[in-house]
Amino acid sequence: MPPMCNNMRRLPLLRHVSMFTTRNLCCLHHRLLACSFAILPGPRCVSTAVIQHVQDLSGPEQRLLSRLYEGLIGGQRASLAESITLVETQHPRKKELAQVLLQRVLAYRREKEKSNGGRPLAFRVGLSGPPGAGKSSFIEVVGKMLTGRGHKLSVLTVDPSSCTTGGSLMGDKTRMTELSRDMNAFIRPSPTSGTLGGVTRTTNEAIVLCEGAGYDIVLVETVGVGQSEFAVADMVDMFVLLIPPAGGDELQVKGIIERADLVVVTKSDGDLVVPARRIQAEYTSALKLLRRQSKSWNPRVVRASSYTSEGIPEVWAKMESYRDTILSSGELQARRRAQQKVWMWSLIQESVLSHFQMHPAVREALPALEERVTRGAISPGLAADLLLKTFTTS
Ligand SMILES: Nc1nc2c(ncn2[C@@H]2O[C@H](COP(=O)(O)OP(=O)(O)OP(=O)(O)O)[C@@H](O)[C@H]2O)c(=O)[nH]1
Protein backbone atom coordinates (compact mmCIF):
# COMPACT_ATOMS: atom_id res chain seq x y z
CA MET A 1 0.00 0.00 0.00
CA PRO A 2 1.49 3.42 -0.92
CA PRO A 3 2.31 5.72 2.00
CA MET A 4 -0.44 8.19 1.19
CA CYS A 5 -3.06 5.52 1.71
CA ASN A 6 -1.71 4.99 5.21
CA ASN A 7 -2.06 8.71 5.76
CA MET A 8 -5.60 8.45 4.53
CA ARG A 9 -6.44 6.10 7.37
CA ARG A 10 -4.91 8.46 9.89
CA LEU A 11 -6.72 11.53 8.57
CA PRO A 12 -10.46 10.97 8.52
CA LEU A 13 -11.28 14.46 7.28
CA LEU A 14 -8.97 14.15 4.32
CA ARG A 15 -10.42 10.75 3.56
CA HIS A 16 -13.88 12.26 3.54
CA VAL A 17 -12.84 15.26 1.56
CA SER A 18 -11.46 12.84 -1.01
CA MET A 19 -14.48 10.59 -0.87
CA PHE A 20 -16.97 13.20 -1.86
CA THR A 21 -15.75 12.96 -5.40
CA THR A 22 -15.05 9.67 -7.06
CA ARG A 23 -12.79 11.27 -9.62
CA ASN A 24 -9.07 10.81 -9.20
CA LEU A 25 -9.32 9.98 -5.53
CA CYS A 26 -5.71 9.19 -4.74
CA CYS A 27 -4.33 12.09 -6.69
CA LEU A 28 -6.70 14.49 -4.93
CA HIS A 29 -5.85 13.06 -1.57
CA HIS A 30 -2.18 13.48 -2.29
CA ARG A 31 -2.76 17.08 -3.31
CA LEU A 32 -4.78 17.81 -0.19
CA LEU A 33 -2.10 16.36 1.98
CA ALA A 34 0.50 18.38 0.19
CA CYS A 35 -1.41 21.60 0.61
CA SER A 36 -2.26 20.96 4.23
CA PHE A 37 1.32 20.14 5.04
CA ALA A 38 2.37 23.29 3.29
CA ILE A 39 0.34 25.49 5.63
CA LEU A 40 0.80 23.80 8.96
CA PRO A 41 4.03 23.11 10.83
CA GLY A 42 4.14 19.33 10.69
CA PRO A 43 2.22 16.15 9.94
CA ARG A 44 1.34 15.54 13.58
CA CYS A 45 -0.20 18.99 13.95
CA VAL A 46 -2.05 18.59 10.67
CA SER A 47 -3.64 15.32 11.59
CA THR A 48 -4.55 16.44 15.10
CA ALA A 49 -5.99 19.76 13.96
CA VAL A 50 -7.93 18.33 11.08
CA ILE A 51 -9.27 15.32 12.93
CA GLN A 52 -10.41 17.51 15.78
CA HIS A 53 -11.99 20.00 13.45
CA VAL A 54 -14.49 17.81 11.64
CA GLN A 55 -16.03 14.56 12.72
CA ASP A 56 -16.96 11.92 10.17
CA LEU A 57 -19.12 13.10 7.35
CA SER A 58 -22.45 11.37 6.98
CA GLY A 59 -23.63 10.06 3.61
CA PRO A 60 -25.98 13.00 2.98
CA GLU A 61 -23.21 15.44 3.99
CA GLN A 62 -20.81 13.82 1.56
CA ARG A 63 -23.39 13.96 -1.18
CA LEU A 64 -24.13 17.62 -0.43
CA LEU A 65 -20.44 18.57 -0.57
CA SER A 66 -19.90 16.51 -3.67
CA ARG A 67 -22.83 18.17 -5.42
CA LEU A 68 -21.73 21.66 -4.40
CA TYR A 69 -18.11 21.11 -5.37
CA GLU A 70 -18.84 19.56 -8.76
CA GLY A 71 -21.45 22.22 -9.52
CA LEU A 72 -19.16 25.01 -8.37
CA ILE A 73 -16.11 24.08 -10.40
CA GLY A 74 -18.47 23.37 -13.29
CA GLY A 75 -19.37 27.07 -13.08
CA GLN A 76 -22.98 26.61 -11.98
CA ARG A 77 -24.29 29.82 -10.43
CA ALA A 78 -26.80 27.99 -8.22
CA SER A 79 -24.02 25.89 -6.70
CA LEU A 80 -21.90 28.99 -6.13
CA ALA A 81 -24.80 30.76 -4.43
CA GLU A 82 -25.51 27.72 -2.25
CA SER A 83 -21.83 27.36 -1.35
CA ILE A 84 -21.65 31.01 -0.28
CA THR A 85 -24.77 30.48 1.84
CA LEU A 86 -22.95 27.56 3.45
CA VAL A 87 -19.91 29.69 4.37
CA GLU A 88 -22.22 32.39 5.73
CA THR A 89 -24.08 30.05 8.02
CA GLN A 90 -23.94 30.36 11.80
CA HIS A 91 -24.80 26.69 12.25
CA PRO A 92 -21.75 24.96 13.82
CA ARG A 93 -21.90 21.74 11.81
CA LYS A 94 -22.57 23.53 8.53
CA LYS A 95 -19.64 25.81 9.32
CA GLU A 96 -17.46 22.72 9.46
CA LEU A 97 -18.83 21.44 6.18
CA ALA A 98 -18.08 24.82 4.64
CA GLN A 99 -14.46 24.46 5.72
CA VAL A 100 -14.22 21.05 4.06
CA LEU A 101 -15.64 22.51 0.86
CA LEU A 102 -13.26 25.46 1.04
CA GLN A 103 -10.23 23.21 1.45
CA ARG A 104 -11.30 21.34 -1.64
CA VAL A 105 -11.78 24.49 -3.64
CA LEU A 106 -8.46 25.87 -2.40
CA ALA A 107 -6.69 22.69 -3.52
CA TYR A 108 -8.41 22.93 -6.90
CA ARG A 109 -7.46 26.59 -7.22
CA ARG A 110 -3.83 25.88 -6.37
CA GLU A 111 -3.66 23.20 -9.06
CA LYS A 112 -5.17 25.55 -11.62
CA GLU A 113 -2.78 28.32 -10.64
CA LYS A 114 0.13 25.95 -10.99
CA SER A 115 -0.93 25.00 -14.49
CA ASN A 116 -1.40 28.73 -15.16
CA GLY A 117 2.31 29.35 -14.52
CA GLY A 118 1.66 30.61 -10.97
CA ARG A 119 -0.58 33.44 -12.22
CA PRO A 120 -3.58 34.06 -9.95
CA LEU A 121 -6.89 32.88 -11.38
CA ALA A 122 -8.65 36.13 -10.65
CA PHE A 123 -8.02 39.81 -10.20
CA ARG A 124 -9.54 41.00 -6.92
CA VAL A 125 -10.62 44.61 -6.83
CA GLY A 126 -12.08 46.48 -3.85
CA LEU A 127 -14.38 49.41 -4.58
CA SER A 128 -15.42 51.95 -2.04
CA GLY A 129 -16.85 55.42 -1.83
CA PRO A 130 -19.37 57.42 0.16
CA PRO A 131 -23.07 56.62 -0.29
CA GLY A 132 -24.32 58.13 -3.54
CA ALA A 133 -20.81 58.33 -5.05
CA GLY A 134 -22.07 56.37 -8.03
CA LYS A 135 -20.66 52.96 -7.14
CA SER A 136 -23.49 50.80 -8.39
CA SER A 137 -23.79 52.81 -11.62
CA PHE A 138 -20.03 52.47 -12.11
CA ILE A 139 -20.03 48.72 -11.44
CA GLU A 140 -22.93 48.27 -13.82
CA VAL A 141 -21.17 50.04 -16.69
CA VAL A 142 -17.71 48.57 -16.05
CA GLY A 143 -19.25 45.15 -15.43
CA LYS A 144 -21.15 45.12 -18.71
CA MET A 145 -18.03 46.24 -20.56
CA LEU A 146 -16.03 43.40 -18.97
CA THR A 147 -18.56 40.64 -19.61
CA GLY A 148 -18.81 41.98 -23.17
CA ARG A 149 -15.07 41.37 -23.45
CA GLY A 150 -15.47 37.76 -22.35
CA HIS A 151 -14.68 38.11 -18.65
CA LYS A 152 -16.67 36.48 -15.88
CA LEU A 153 -17.30 38.94 -13.10
CA SER A 154 -18.55 38.51 -9.57
CA VAL A 155 -19.59 41.38 -7.34
CA LEU A 156 -19.62 40.84 -3.59
CA THR A 157 -20.98 43.53 -1.33
CA VAL A 158 -19.93 44.33 2.21
CA ASP A 159 -22.40 46.52 4.07
CA PRO A 160 -21.71 46.47 7.80
CA SER A 161 -24.91 48.38 8.59
CA SER A 162 -26.95 45.42 7.41
CA CYS A 163 -25.34 43.25 10.12
CA THR A 164 -26.33 45.38 13.04
CA THR A 165 -29.68 46.69 11.92
CA GLY A 166 -30.88 43.94 9.61
CA GLY A 167 -31.45 46.80 7.17
CA SER A 168 -28.97 48.23 4.78
CA LEU A 169 -27.29 51.57 4.22
CA MET A 170 -27.67 50.81 0.56
CA GLY A 171 -31.38 50.45 1.15
CA ASP A 172 -33.61 47.97 -0.53
CA LYS A 173 -33.35 49.63 -3.91
CA THR A 174 -32.47 47.31 -6.74
CA ARG A 175 -28.90 47.96 -7.74
CA MET A 176 -27.12 46.97 -10.94
CA THR A 177 -30.32 45.79 -12.60
CA GLU A 178 -28.82 45.04 -16.01
CA LEU A 179 -25.71 43.36 -14.67
CA SER A 180 -27.80 41.13 -12.44
CA ARG A 181 -29.45 39.72 -15.58
CA ASP A 182 -26.09 39.05 -17.24
CA MET A 183 -25.23 35.35 -17.18
CA ASN A 184 -21.51 36.13 -16.95
CA ALA A 185 -21.97 38.23 -13.85
CA PHE A 186 -22.73 37.03 -10.36
CA ILE A 187 -23.90 39.56 -7.80
CA ARG A 188 -24.09 38.72 -4.13
CA PRO A 189 -25.37 41.24 -1.59
CA SER A 190 -24.00 41.54 1.91
CA PRO A 191 -25.18 39.04 4.53
CA THR A 192 -27.69 40.65 6.85
CA SER A 193 -26.45 39.17 10.09
CA GLY A 194 -23.19 38.70 11.94
CA THR A 195 -20.40 41.00 13.01
CA LEU A 196 -18.21 43.00 10.66
CA GLY A 197 -15.45 40.48 11.34
CA GLY A 198 -17.80 37.63 10.51
CA VAL A 199 -18.99 39.27 7.33
CA THR A 200 -15.51 40.07 6.13
CA ARG A 201 -14.44 36.51 6.86
CA THR A 202 -17.25 35.11 4.78
CA THR A 203 -16.47 37.63 2.04
CA ASN A 204 -12.89 36.35 1.97
CA GLU A 205 -14.19 32.84 1.68
CA ALA A 206 -16.74 33.83 -0.95
CA ILE A 207 -13.85 35.24 -3.03
CA VAL A 208 -12.22 31.78 -3.01
CA LEU A 209 -15.50 30.18 -4.07
CA CYS A 210 -16.03 32.68 -6.89
CA GLU A 211 -12.53 32.02 -8.18
CA GLY A 212 -13.17 28.27 -8.02
CA ALA A 213 -16.33 28.83 -10.06
CA GLY A 214 -14.30 30.45 -12.82
CA TYR A 215 -14.88 34.15 -12.18
CA ASP A 216 -11.72 35.89 -13.30
CA ILE A 217 -12.61 39.30 -11.88
CA VAL A 218 -13.95 39.65 -8.37
CA LEU A 219 -15.19 43.08 -7.30
CA VAL A 220 -15.75 43.63 -3.60
CA GLU A 221 -17.85 46.71 -3.00
CA THR A 222 -18.28 48.41 0.33
CA VAL A 223 -20.14 51.49 1.48
CA GLY A 224 -17.97 54.29 2.73
CA VAL A 225 -18.41 53.97 6.43
CA GLY A 226 -16.34 52.69 9.32
CA GLN A 227 -13.84 49.90 9.25
CA SER A 228 -15.33 47.88 6.42
CA GLU A 229 -13.24 49.71 3.82
CA PHE A 230 -10.02 48.85 5.59
CA ALA A 231 -11.13 45.25 5.89
CA VAL A 232 -11.86 45.15 2.17
CA ALA A 233 -8.57 46.86 1.30
CA ASP A 234 -6.90 43.99 3.16
CA MET A 235 -8.53 41.31 1.03
CA VAL A 236 -8.01 42.58 -2.52
CA ASP A 237 -5.20 43.10 -5.03
CA MET A 238 -6.27 46.62 -5.86
CA PHE A 239 -8.27 49.15 -3.90
CA VAL A 240 -10.24 51.75 -5.86
CA LEU A 241 -11.88 54.74 -4.25
CA LEU A 242 -14.81 56.44 -5.97
CA ILE A 243 -15.39 60.09 -5.18
CA PRO A 244 -18.26 62.23 -6.43
CA PRO A 245 -17.44 65.68 -7.81
CA ALA A 246 -19.88 67.36 -5.45
CA GLY A 247 -21.31 66.52 -2.07
CA GLY A 248 -18.55 64.07 -1.18
CA ASP A 249 -17.85 64.19 2.50
CA GLU A 250 -14.13 64.84 2.84
CA LEU A 251 -14.06 63.24 6.27
CA GLN A 252 -15.42 59.98 4.97
CA VAL A 253 -12.54 59.46 2.59
CA LYS A 254 -9.82 60.98 4.78
CA GLY A 255 -8.25 57.84 6.20
CA ILE A 256 -8.97 55.38 3.46
CA ILE A 257 -7.42 57.56 0.75
CA GLU A 258 -4.04 56.27 1.91
CA ARG A 259 -5.02 52.77 0.86
CA ALA A 260 -6.25 53.74 -2.61
CA ASP A 261 -4.34 52.43 -5.62
CA LEU A 262 -6.65 54.38 -7.89
CA VAL A 263 -9.08 57.22 -7.27
CA VAL A 264 -11.97 57.66 -9.69
CA VAL A 265 -13.83 60.96 -9.70
CA THR A 266 -17.30 59.89 -10.80
CA LYS A 267 -20.11 61.69 -12.66
CA SER A 268 -17.72 63.63 -14.82
CA ASP A 269 -20.36 64.75 -17.29
CA GLY A 270 -22.41 67.87 -18.12
CA ASP A 271 -22.21 70.57 -15.48
CA LEU A 272 -20.24 68.27 -13.22
CA VAL A 273 -17.17 68.14 -15.50
CA VAL A 274 -15.74 71.36 -14.03
CA PRO A 275 -16.07 70.34 -10.35
CA ALA A 276 -14.84 66.85 -11.30
CA ARG A 277 -11.66 68.36 -12.77
CA ARG A 278 -11.16 70.44 -9.64
CA ILE A 279 -11.56 67.41 -7.38
CA GLN A 280 -9.19 65.45 -9.63
CA ALA A 281 -6.53 68.15 -9.25
CA GLU A 282 -7.04 68.32 -5.46
CA TYR A 283 -6.72 64.59 -4.96
CA THR A 284 -3.75 64.36 -7.30
CA SER A 285 -1.88 66.85 -5.11
CA ALA A 286 -3.07 65.16 -1.91
CA LEU A 287 -1.85 61.74 -3.09
CA LYS A 288 1.62 63.13 -3.76
CA LEU A 289 1.96 63.91 -0.07
CA LEU A 290 1.08 60.39 1.03
CA ARG A 291 3.51 57.58 1.59
CA ARG A 292 3.60 55.22 -1.37
CA GLN A 293 2.15 51.78 -0.73
CA SER A 294 3.84 50.14 -3.67
CA LYS A 295 7.39 50.33 -5.00
CA SER A 296 6.24 49.99 -8.56
CA TRP A 297 2.97 51.89 -8.71
CA ASN A 298 1.97 55.50 -8.11
CA PRO A 299 -1.72 55.91 -7.28
CA ARG A 300 -3.55 57.92 -9.97
CA VAL A 301 -6.67 60.04 -10.04
CA VAL A 302 -8.91 59.69 -13.09
CA ARG A 303 -12.36 60.93 -14.09
CA ALA A 304 -15.22 58.91 -15.53
CA SER A 305 -18.92 59.08 -16.22
CA SER A 306 -21.25 56.12 -15.99
CA TYR A 307 -23.88 58.12 -17.88
CA THR A 308 -21.77 58.77 -20.98
CA SER A 309 -19.22 55.96 -20.42
CA GLU A 310 -16.53 58.55 -20.99
CA GLY A 311 -13.36 57.54 -19.18
CA ILE A 312 -14.68 54.04 -18.33
CA PRO A 313 -12.43 52.06 -20.72
CA GLU A 314 -9.50 54.19 -19.54
CA VAL A 315 -10.27 53.37 -15.89
CA TRP A 316 -10.21 49.68 -16.69
CA ALA A 317 -6.99 50.11 -18.69
CA LYS A 318 -5.39 51.69 -15.60
CA MET A 319 -6.61 48.82 -13.48
CA GLU A 320 -5.11 46.30 -15.88
CA SER A 321 -1.89 48.22 -16.01
CA TYR A 322 -1.75 48.19 -12.19
CA ARG A 323 -2.37 44.43 -12.14
CA ASP A 324 0.32 43.74 -14.74
CA THR A 325 2.80 45.99 -12.94
CA ILE A 326 2.41 44.40 -9.52
CA LEU A 327 2.21 40.94 -11.01
CA SER A 328 5.53 41.29 -12.79
CA SER A 329 7.19 42.95 -9.79
CA GLY A 330 6.00 40.08 -7.55
CA GLU A 331 4.10 42.51 -5.30
CA LEU A 332 0.74 40.94 -6.00
CA GLN A 333 1.86 37.56 -4.75
CA ALA A 334 3.59 39.16 -1.73
CA ARG A 335 0.49 41.19 -0.95
CA ARG A 336 -1.70 38.09 -1.02
CA ARG A 337 0.68 36.21 1.24
CA ALA A 338 0.72 39.07 3.75
CA GLN A 339 -3.08 39.28 3.62
CA GLN A 340 -3.40 35.62 4.58
CA LYS A 341 -1.44 36.30 7.74
CA VAL A 342 -3.35 39.47 8.56
CA TRP A 343 -6.58 37.53 8.20
CA MET A 344 -5.48 34.66 10.31
CA TRP A 345 -4.56 37.05 13.12
CA SER A 346 -7.72 39.09 12.83
CA LEU A 347 -9.79 35.90 13.06
CA ILE A 348 -7.82 34.81 16.09
CA GLN A 349 -8.27 38.20 17.72
CA GLU A 350 -11.99 38.17 17.14
CA SER A 351 -12.38 34.64 18.41
CA VAL A 352 -10.23 35.17 21.51
CA LEU A 353 -12.06 38.38 22.35
CA SER A 354 -15.41 36.69 22.02
CA HIS A 355 -14.25 33.81 24.27
CA PHE A 356 -13.08 36.39 26.79
CA GLN A 357 -16.33 38.34 26.71
CA MET A 358 -18.44 35.18 27.04
CA HIS A 359 -16.44 33.73 29.90
CA PRO A 360 -18.76 33.41 32.95
CA ALA A 361 -16.24 34.72 35.49
CA VAL A 362 -15.38 37.70 33.28
CA ARG A 363 -19.05 38.48 32.76
CA GLU A 364 -19.63 38.39 36.47
CA ALA A 365 -16.71 40.66 37.34
CA LEU A 366 -17.16 43.07 34.44
CA PRO A 367 -20.01 45.39 35.60
CA ALA A 368 -18.36 46.23 38.92
CA LEU A 369 -14.95 46.77 37.37
CA GLU A 370 -16.36 48.92 34.57
CA GLU A 371 -18.17 51.00 37.15
CA ARG A 372 -14.98 51.49 39.16
CA VAL A 373 -13.03 52.45 36.06
CA THR A 374 -15.60 55.02 34.93
CA ARG A 375 -15.70 56.43 38.47
CA GLY A 376 -11.93 56.78 38.40
CA ALA A 377 -11.52 54.47 41.40
CA ILE A 378 -9.09 52.22 39.54
CA SER A 379 -7.09 52.64 36.37
CA PRO A 380 -8.21 50.97 33.12
CA GLY A 381 -4.89 49.12 33.09
CA LEU A 382 -5.50 47.58 36.52
CA ALA A 383 -9.07 46.63 35.58
CA ALA A 384 -7.85 44.96 32.39
CA ASP A 385 -5.18 43.07 34.37
CA LEU A 386 -7.77 41.87 36.89
CA LEU A 387 -10.15 40.72 34.19
CA LEU A 388 -7.42 38.91 32.31
CA LYS A 389 -6.34 37.23 35.52
CA THR A 390 -9.94 36.14 36.14
CA PHE A 391 -10.06 34.78 32.59
CA THR A 392 -6.85 32.82 32.77
CA THR A 393 -7.23 31.44 36.28
CA SER A 394 -10.88 30.44 36.48
N1 LIG B 1 -24.46 62.82 -13.65
C2 LIG B 1 -24.19 61.58 -13.26
N3 LIG B 1 -24.89 61.02 -12.23
C4 LIG B 1 -24.60 59.76 -11.87
C5 LIG B 1 -23.57 59.01 -12.49
N6 LIG B 1 -23.50 57.81 -11.89
C7 LIG B 1 -24.45 57.80 -10.94
N8 LIG B 1 -25.12 58.98 -10.93
C9 LIG B 1 -26.25 59.31 -10.05
O10 LIG B 1 -25.80 59.39 -8.72
C11 LIG B 1 -26.77 58.85 -7.82
C12 LIG B 1 -26.14 57.74 -7.00
O13 LIG B 1 -25.69 56.72 -7.88
P14 LIG B 1 -25.49 55.22 -7.39
O15 LIG B 1 -24.82 54.51 -8.52
O16 LIG B 1 -26.75 54.68 -6.87
O17 LIG B 1 -24.46 55.47 -6.22
P18 LIG B 1 -23.98 54.48 -5.08
O19 LIG B 1 -22.64 54.95 -4.66
O20 LIG B 1 -24.10 53.09 -5.55
O21 LIG B 1 -25.01 54.78 -3.98
P22 LIG B 1 -25.41 53.86 -2.73
O23 LIG B 1 -26.19 52.72 -3.36
O24 LIG B 1 -26.26 54.77 -1.91
O25 LIG B 1 -24.14 53.44 -2.09
C26 LIG B 1 -27.92 58.37 -8.70
O27 LIG B 1 -28.91 59.34 -8.72
C28 LIG B 1 -27.32 58.23 -10.07
O29 LIG B 1 -28.24 58.44 -11.11
C30 LIG B 1 -22.86 59.63 -13.58
O31 LIG B 1 -21.95 59.07 -14.18
N32 LIG B 1 -23.20 60.90 -13.89
Q: Is pLDDT of 169 > 60?
A: no
Classify domain 338-393 by CATH number. Answer: 1.10.287
The pLDDT confidence band at residue 243, using thresholds 50, 70 and 90, is very high
Contact 185, 75 (CB under 8 A): no
The phi and psi torsions of 366 (rounded to 5 degrees) equal: -60, -50
Classify domain 3-115 by CATH number. Answer: 1.20.5.170
Return the ligand 1 atom nearest residue 242 CA.
19
Q: Residues near 233 by Cβ (< 8 Å), separated by ≥ 6?
A: 126, 128, 239, 256, 259
User: CATH 1.10.287: which residues of the chain?
Assistant: 338-393
Who wins on pLDDT, 344 or 199? 344
pLDDT digits (tens, 9 = 90+) for 52-78: 455 578 888 889 999 999 999 999 999
Return the ligand 1 atom nearest residue 266 CA.
31
Q: Which of 127, 137, 309 to mutate for ligand 1's pocket (most ligand atoms within 8 Å of CB)?
A: 137
Q: Is pLDDT of 171 > 70?
A: no
In terms of Cβ atoms closer than 10 Å to its own Cβ (0-12, 13-18, 19+), residue 245 is buried
pLDDT of residue 364: 93
Number of C-beta neighbours around residue 273 at 10 A? 15
Average pLDDT estimate for 319-337: 92
Share above pLDDT 90 across residues of the chain, in percent, rounded to a whole number: 47
Question: Mean pLDDT for the chain?
Answer: 80
Task: For residue 259, give the nearest of 231, 284, 239, 232 by alpha carbon.
Answer: 239
pLDDT of residue 197: 63
Q: Could you tell me if the CB of 132 is within 6 A of ligand 1? A: yes
The pLDDT confidence band at residue 248, using thresholds 50, 70 and 90, is low
pLDDT of residue 222: 86
- Which one-letter amino acid corresponds to residue 107? A
pLDDT of residue 56: 79
To the nearest 10°, report the CA torsion of 28, 31, 36, 38: -170
Q: Facing residues of 217 across strands?
A: 123, 153
User: CATH 3.40.50.300: which residues of the chain?
Assistant: 123-332
- DSSP letter string, 313-358: HHHHHHHHHHHHHHHHTTHHHHHHHHHHHHHHHHHHHHHHHHHHHH
Q: Could you tell me if the CB of 303 is within 6 A of ligand 1? A: no
Contact 23, 66 (CB under 8 A): no
pLDDT of residue 3: 40
Who wins on pLDDT, 51 or 275? 275
Who wins on pLDDT, 92 or 248? 92
Q: For residue 138, how far is its CA from the centre of ligand 1 (angstroms)?
A: 8
pLDDT digits (tens, 9 = 90+) for 136-156: 999 999 999 999 999 999 999
pLDDT digits (tens, 9 = 90+) for 173-210: 567 888 989 999 999 887 655 566 666 778 889 999 99
Give domain 123-332's CATH number out of 3.10.290.10, 2.40.50.140, 3.40.50.300, 3.40.718.10: 3.40.50.300
Q: For residue 134, how far is its CA from the centre of ligand 1 (angstroms)?
A: 3
pLDDT of residue 194: 57
The pLDDT confidence band at residue 42, using thresholds 50, 70 and 90, is very low
pLDDT of residue 127: 94
Half-sphere exposure of 350 (CA within 13 A, CB side): 14
Q: For residue 84, how far is its CA from the centre of ligand 1 (angstroms)?
A: 28
Contact 152, 179 (CB under 8 A): no
Question: Does this model's pTM top 0.80?
Answer: no
